[in-house]
Structure 1
Amino acid sequence: MTQLTESEPEVYQGQFGQFTITQSDRTGVLIYRTGLMVAALCFAAGSLLVLLLGNSPATLNALTPLYACFSLALGVSLVTIHIYLASLHRLLQIFWLIGSVTAGFFAVQNSEALALTIYNHPVTLLGAGFTFAALTGIYFKEAFCFNRFETKLLTPLVPVLLLGHLAGVLPVPVEKTLLAGWAILFLVFALRKAFQAIPPDIGDKSVFDYLHQQRSVEA
């Protein structure tokens, strides 16, 4: 991961004035990236189990804790991500909350494993799928801000796989191929973020200040 070192606040010229990048800003970015890395590793591990072992007891026993870890790590990233539009930031967090609460409900209420519940009853994606909608929001933000090829592919891939499964139109081999692609590209994304310079992830803080002032005036 990107190394965290003690340093004086750096001064930058933003669109609406000067701003500084502090140690706290850098720590927030590292937490965001760590959350993405943990989520990517959990998702890749779960995908590998599914692709290699199918719905074996060992796979089903491992998938629920892996999903819980993935969801928690994603939630941490959604708290620390920098997005200029506060309304969009809150919307992604609400999506994550809806998906997490729904998945938790299914995990507690059903006797079968969470993965089987969602796979065998695609309509559950109308609730649990909100978590992946939030993740897709991160992919879209990263594709828009940093022009990353992997997030450009992930942004349409995730809804195609989930909506295709919901509609029952994707053959199993296609679903497996898309799942493998998702896991690989997610890992590529998280690894590339780990070595990216920190300031671009913080963004132009003068824009955040300006938008905050505008909201205060309107209130």
Structure 2
Amino acid sequence: MGEKQAFQPLTKEDKITVVIYRVGIVLSAIFISILAYLLTAAPADSPPVLKSVSGDILLYGLYASVALSVFFIHLYVGKFKIYLKNLLYISLVCLAALLLIGKGSLSGALLQTPASALLLLPLSGCLGFVAAKEAFCFRLFEGYLLAMIMPFYLLLVSAGRLANGGASFGLVVIAVLLVLFTLRKVFMPIAFDIGDKSAYQ
């Protein structure tokens, strides 16, 4: 469980790393919420709203925001952070594959080849790990839901099982949970994320 107390004075580095970690969470919530809004608000007879420069920018932003949280997360067990970073590196390889499939466009790859959504699984795994870690440490139970729903959502999208607005609705559910998770997390005292440094492995 997380430590809801200050075990030692916080250094400047402690404060900066926690702020960056939480900024990553906030940005992830913003990017996913905008994507959900764009999908939901688009008229049914209009061209795919995500097949655009704005769609690509949002997806690139999501990769960057998740990376911030991964690199600056504080974990007692060092091996977990190594595994998490490796998962992020795998997601970057998948990013390159998406660019290849979409001929330079992330959104183009996802729209032209629904199965390519599977290449987002490592990225969702990174964000899901962050959410589940916070759920375990601070009882933010929506974090567990996010960790389970995000990969399941991508599997359904890749299999073409979310037609007729299903993809939009699913992303809205994820966005709502992520915003709730973010609001409950970012206002916690910074010391909560640092915990007891003597217990770090």
TM range (shorter): 0.7 to 0.9
* TM-score normalized by the length of structure 1: 0.78
Choose which of 48, 67, 71 in structure 2 pairs with 1:79: 71
Which residue of structure 2 lines up, in the alignment, with residue 32 of structure 1? Answer: 21
> Residue 50 of structure 2: which of 52, 59, 83 is its match?
59
Partners of 1:126 and 1:51 in 2: CA distance? 22
- Write the distance in 2 (CA, Å) between the matches of 1:49 and 1:149: 27
Rg comparison, structure with higher value? 1
- Distance in 2 (CA, whole Å) between partners of 1:11 and 1:57 is 49
Greater share of strand: 1
TM-score (normalizing by structure 2): 0.84
**Post-superposition shift, 1:63?**
0.9
Structure 1 residues 205, 112: closer, same or farther in 2, change over 3 A?
closer
For residues 140 and 111 of structure 2, the distance between their equivalents in structure 1, rounded to whole angstroms, comes to: 30
Greater length-normalized contact order (CA 8 Å, ≥ 6 residues apart): 2
Asked whether the equivalents of residues 97 and 131 of structure 1 are also in contact (C-alpha less than 8 Å), the reply is: no
Unaligned runs of 5+ in 1: 1-9, 13-18, 212-219
The answer (yes or no) to whether the contact 1:140–1:155 under 8 Å persists in 2 is: yes
Give the aligned length: 194
Which runs of no fewer than 5 residues in structure 2 stay unpaired? none
RMSD: 2.4
Helix, strand or coil: the match of 1:111? coil
Separation in 1 of the partners of 2:89 and 2:150? 18
Q: In 1, Cα distance between the equivalents of 2:90 and 2:136?
A: 25
1:48 corresponds to: 37
- Name which of 200, 203, 207 aligns with 2:199: 207
